[in-house]
Amino acid sequence: MNFIIDILKGAVMGIANVIPGVSGGTMAVAMGIYDKLITSLTHIFKEFKKSVMTVLPIGIGMVIGIVGLSMIIEWMFGTVPIQTNLLFIGLILGGVPAIWARVKGHKVKAGYIIGFILFFALVIALSFVQAGTEKEKEALKASEETEAEAFYVETGVVPSVKYVAAGVVASGTMVIPGVSGSMMMMVMGLYEKVIGSISNIVKALAAGDFATVGMCCGLLIPFGIGAVIGIFVIAKLIEMLLSKYSVPTFWCIMGLIAGSPIAIIVVNADIFAGINAVSGITGVLFLAVGFVIAFFLGRDREETKADE
């Protein structure tokens, strides 16, 4: 049963990671799998079997979320964008009780509050950067020539090094709660190229167009190498912080998470500007559903910990 539940949690993480402005790390914290995921990634060679059994269902769920369910979420964003954004805000808020439990009972210090405020401000600042980036992207898309060239992929040594570096940054930020890896890819101007390459490589394989397959692999292979490096490096850093400075680290994480709902609203300000009575009422229902899902998935993990 826990295996299936972890697949569901991984699916939520996968969907979150492909949506700019939503953090897969935040979803992991909200659902109570963040620490065990970080520990498993950093100890995969020392405790191979145990780590694989932990990462496997989450990884399966992430693949399902990225490849399959993200199509449904993409349709939802196109059809009911306000409600879908509020669903993710609900998922974030539903995990707050589980996070608060990590610091409850410890004396509140000035340093913890400062950390909370700084990381809260960081998420808000990044959301304004993303909002500006998306406006620039929309202006570029107004040109048919730019849109036609959107999925062109450069090849060669220099572009490959750039893709490796981008993979390190994107995947590293995906591990950090409150920071959207997809958002960082947009800031670096690679979001559409990476997502487009994944889509185009499937179409090209079906059509036997191996030239396009090779072009897409010229981006995806170095980006994937960078992504693996980024995940392990950042995971190791976070594991060290959680083991040595657990309480202040969780205060900082709470700052990141507290800022995330505001960041989603800032990034989607144009969408929320069109809210009406119907979308408002149904949006609150979506928010409640997201809250309940995250709350019970997070509580499930806490109960499992207690049983162990």
279 CA to centre of own chain: 25
Are 33 and 39 within 8 A, CB to CB?
Answer: no
Q: What is the pLDDT of residue 275?
A: 92
**Res. 198: pLDDT tops 80:** no
Q: Which two tokens stand for residue 213?
A: 């397959």
Q: What are phi and psi of 22, to 5 degrees?
A: -110, 135
Are 61 and 6 within 8 A, CB to CB?
Answer: yes
Q: 21-30, 95-104, 138-147, 235-244: which range is least confident on average?
A: 138-147
| One-letter-per-residue 3-state SS of 161-205 | HHHHHHHHHHHHHHHCCCCCHHHHHHHCCCHHHHHHHHHHHHHHH
Domain segments of the chain as ranges? 2-307
Q: What is the pLDDT of residue 296?
A: 76
62 CA to centre of own chain: 10
**Res. 306: pLDDT tops 50:** no
pLDDT in tens, 10-60: 888 887 777 665 677 777 877 778 888 888 888 888 889 889 998 899 989
Minimal CA–CA distance to 123: which of 60, 166, 180? Answer: 180
Are 20 and 286 within 8 A, CB to CB?
Answer: no
pLDDT in tens, 58-81: 989 888 887 776 667 768 878 899
pLDDT in tens, 257-305: 888 888 888 878 888 999 999 999 999 999 999 888 777 766 544 444 4
Model confidence pTM above 0.85: no
* Rounded average pLDDT over 149-177: 74
Minimal CA–CA distance to 263: which of 16, 51, 13? Answer: 16
Are 39 and 239 within 8 A, CB to CB?
Answer: yes
Minimal CA–CA distance to 257: which of 216, 294, 212? Answer: 294
- Mean pLDDT, the chain, whole residue set: 79
Q: Which one has a higher pLDDT value, 138 or 256?
A: 256
